[in-house]
């Protein structure tokens, strides 16, 4: 059913830009400034039993490890724990740690390392095909091709009718 009344339960456009500079956690200096400090933080956090149970549940639902690692590092960036650069650097380590947790729990998880675009047809392939087709068409006389195809059709034409022999 279509809701005709306007909804005001949404952020005002540009709302994120009006907060005072430094009011957001990611605008303040990070809590962990080096990769080592960030790894130490994650190790202590992710090896807790509560976290491990949650991670195993999420992995069982089919969420890829790469996506989960990305979410964890991004949430830490939002909390002001570390910078985005350190998050990207630490992410492979997080993936390895998540895989270890999955292995230890005996969960069949998705790694998310497969390239989703691998089986897709590239747009450049179509462009290449179209160019070849156009070149081929330009090099041949269209009228000649039509005549050739007509001749072929006449040759292929099989006898039709009720008494025609089946092949």
User: If binding is defined by CB under 8 A, does position 55 make contact with another protein?
Assistant: no
Please give the structure tokens belonging to residue 28.
């303040």
Size of the site for another protein (CB under 8 A): 27
Please give the structure tokens belonging to residue 117.
């675009």
Residue 51 beta carbon to another protein: minimum distance, rounded to whole angstroms = 16
Expressed in angstroms, the distance from the first to the final Cα of the chain is: 59
User: If binding is defined by CB under 8 A, does position 113 make contact with another protein?
Assistant: yes
Residue 70 buriedness (CB in 10 A; 0-12 / 13-18 / 19+):
middle
Q: Which of 55, 59, 95, 109 binds another protein (CB under 8 A)?
A: 95
User: If binding is defined by CB under 8 A, does position 79 make contact with another protein?
Assistant: no
User: If binding is defined by CB under 8 A, does position 103 make contact with another protein?
Assistant: yes
Place of tokens 């130490």: 40
Q: Which of residues 121-140 bind another protein (CB under 8 A)?
A: none
Cα 21 from chain centroid (whole Å): 33
Q: Which of 63, 99, 107, 110 binds another protein (CB under 8 A)?
A: 99
Residue 71 beta carbon to another protein: minimum distance, rounded to whole angstroms = 9
Buried b (16+ CB within 10 A) or exposed e, 141-157: eeeeeeeeeeeeeeeee
Q: In the complex, which residues of this chain contact another protein (CB under 8 A)? A: 34-36, 39, 66-67, 69-70, 73-74, 86, 88-93, 95-97, 99-100, 103-104, 112-113, 116
């Amino acid at each position: 059913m279509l809701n005709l009344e306007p909804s005001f339960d949404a952020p005002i456009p540009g709302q994120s830009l009006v907060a005072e500079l430094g009011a957001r956690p990611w605008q303040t200096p990070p809590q962990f400034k080096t990769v080592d400090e960030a790894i130490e933080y994650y190790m202590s956090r992710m090896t807790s039993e509560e976290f491990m149970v949650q991670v195993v549940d999420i992995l069982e639902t089919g969420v890829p490890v790469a996506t989960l690692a990305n979410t964890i590092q991004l949430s830490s960036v939002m909390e002001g724990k570390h910078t985005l650069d350190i998050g990207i650097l630490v992410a492979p380590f997080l993936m390895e740690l998540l895989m270890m947790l999955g292995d230890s729990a005996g969960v069949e998880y998705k790694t998310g390392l497969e390239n989703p675009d691998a089986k897709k047809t590239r747009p450049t392939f179509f462009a290449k095909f179209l160019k070849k087709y156009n070149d081929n068409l330009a090099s041949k006389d269209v009228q000649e091709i039509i005549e050739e195809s007509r001749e072929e059709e006449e040759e292929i034409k099989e006898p039709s009718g009720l008494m025609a022999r089946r092949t």
